[in-house]
Amino acid sequence: MDQVIGNLNGVDFTLGGTLLELSYLLAALFFVYGLKLLSHPETARKGNFYAAIGMFLAIITTILLHKNAQGVGIPLVNVWIILAALGVGSVVGWIIALRIKMTAMPQLVSFYNATGGAASALVALLEFPNADMNNTGSVLVTILGLIIGSIAFSGSMIAYGKLDGKVGDIFSGMMKYVNIFLLLVVVAISVFIMTSGQTPEQLNWAIYLLLAVSLVYGVMFVMPIGGADMPVVISLLNSLSGVAAMMAGFIYNNQAMILGGILVGAAGTILTILMCNAMNRSLLNVIIGSFGVGGASANKDQVGDMKEITMSDASILLSYSKSVVIVPGYGLAVAQAQHACHELDVILSGKGVNVRYAIHPVAGRMPGHMNVLLAEADVPYNQLFEMESINPDMPHTDVVMVIGANDVVNPAAITDPGSPIAGMPIINAHLAKNIIVMKRGRGKGYAGIENELFFDAKTRLLFGDAKNTLQNLVNEIKSL
């Protein structure tokens, strides 16, 4: 049966093999179409479903139809082992995915990214003994899969730890040189493996050394990056895990893996670039982490005093406004204040106030995180506006309420060419008629610079935890 199609033109292919290749092609098409749908709001859910179908198809046909070089299929014992492993992973993955809080989404994505990277590194490591040392290409993709997978794994684990507050930031000038050194070591070992002419068995020590150094590099590379740069790092690591999967795809010459990997790599790269643009910084600048050191004019003296506002004054000001724009930031996510924020927005809307949200592209801790948080709190998404579309309306806005955001509303980005954030696109909160800022304390933002907006004559501050402050404000407005 298997030889039905037979040997055409001297090319040996079987029915099973052909079906398998076709199913990989189909899976790859499902991935492409799924991602296409995933990038439009109305079709996104369907797109995710299609991508999952593609994956399911590829897994099933691999188990049923894959044959090794000797034409032997997967023995039944191994099928059971594979199914057991699939079962364990599915159940655990499913449970975590259903239980996770939306505020913890960045941690979860980092964690899953780490597991993907680890799987790529393991596959490359185990395939190395089978590599044909005379085939430069095959050795290269194996080594690259190992290196990139390891970096994606250890880097994502550190990112996960940071987002979860388990790992702190370590800034040090030395770090830059250590990282360059580690990278050189990685390249040196790779070149040695490729040119030594030894067998994979003899090179066993080198491949494990390469694994170890790559893992250390992943840790050291993410360690100094933190705070507002997290969206960039997560996107970058995401793209790395895709590239690692692509490399492994070349080991097996598997089109579904290659195409899937490249698509993920491209998605991650695009998001990385978008995030970098949103902060007006180059990728190199983020990785080296020279932010917050402060330019010449960064530490200039305060322009005036911060003026506080009482709850009752704030509630009156908000209730009698025509239009209010809320600018949520990192602080809102940390305080988990999205529900309280929506409560305020509902009660104000009930009083005939036009309430809108202005979302900066890097608000939150990963790309688009703020949108997810507000969606979770039932904020309709026609109330969410991107920076470019709401900025022209700012001069006609009665009150802008900045909740836990800082650098993204700092006018220094426009007015002070010497500022570290000069040129970064901001939400023009300073153009509104009144500004209310909710802040935990008098500290500076992530960039470590003063924000003139807080000292503006039109600005009033409400100090305290965003969630409590918002709840008090809602109660105050109710009792008006």
Pairing of strands 11-12, 7-8: antiparallel
What is the CA 438 to chain-centroid distance, rounded?
A: 26
Cα gap 13→438, rounded to integer Å: 68
CB of 102 vs other proteins, minimal distance in Å: 8
CB 460, CB 341: distance < 8 Å: no
What is the amino acid identity at position 16?
G
DSSP string, 231-277: HHHHHHHHHHHHHHHHHHHHHHT-HHHHHHHHHHHHHHHHHHHHHHH
Least distance CB 131 / other proteins (angstroms): 13
Interface with other proteins, residue 8, by CB under 8 A: no
Q: Name the nearest CA neighbour of 283 among 106, 293, 275.
A: 275
301 has catalytic annotation: no
- Residue window 103-132: x/- pattern of binding to other proteins, with contact defined by CB under 8 A: --x--xx--xx-xx-xxx-xx-xxx-----
**Using CB under 8 A, which of 19, 22, 25, 85 touches other proteins?**
85
Q: Does 158 bind other proteins (CB under 8 A)?
A: no
Q: Give one DSSP letter per residue of 274-316, joined into a string.
A: HHHHHTT--HHHHHHT-TTS--TTTTPPPSS---B--HHHHHH
| Helix or strand holding residue 469 (H, E) | helix 466-478
Q: Single out the residue of 19, 36, 307, 396 in contact with other proteins (rule: CB under 8 A).
A: 36
Q: Which of 229, 345, 407, 456 is catalytic?
A: 407
CA distance 49 to 28: 14
User: Cβ of residue 445: shortest distance to other proteins, in angstroms?
Assistant: 21
DSSP-derived 3-state class of residue 44: helix
Of 33 and 171, CB closest to other proteins: 33
Residues 269-328 that bind other proteins (CB under 8 A): 270-271, 274
CA distance 120 to 142: 10
Q: Give residues 379-418 in contact with other proteins (rule: CB under 8 A).
A: 379-381, 384, 386
Contact 257, 248 (CB under 8 A): yes
Where does this chain touch other proteins (CB under 8 A) — which range of 49-57, 173-181, 200-208, 327-335?
49-57
Name the minimum Å distance from CB 254 to other proteins: 6
Q: Does 100 bind other proteins (CB under 8 A)?
A: yes
Indicate whether 235 belongs to the interface with other proteins (CB under 8 A): yes
Candidates 19, 22, 25, 96: give the one binding other proteins (CB under 8 A): 96
Q: Tell me the per-residue interface mask from 165 to 194 with other proteins, x by CB under 8 A, - otherwise.
A: ------------------------------
Q: What is the spatial distance between Cα 149 and Cα 244, in angstroms, rounded to a whole number?
A: 5
212 binds other proteins (CB under 8 A): no
Q: Is 429 in the site for other proteins (CB under 8 A)?
A: no
In the set 5, 15, 26, 59, which binds other proteins (CB under 8 A)? 59
Q: Which of 47, 161, 226, 331 binds other proteins (CB under 8 A)?
A: 47
- Name 308's bridge partners: 461
Q: Does 90 sit near other proteins (CB under 8 A)?
A: yes
Which tokens go with 301? 């003296």
The residues assigned a catalytic role are: 407
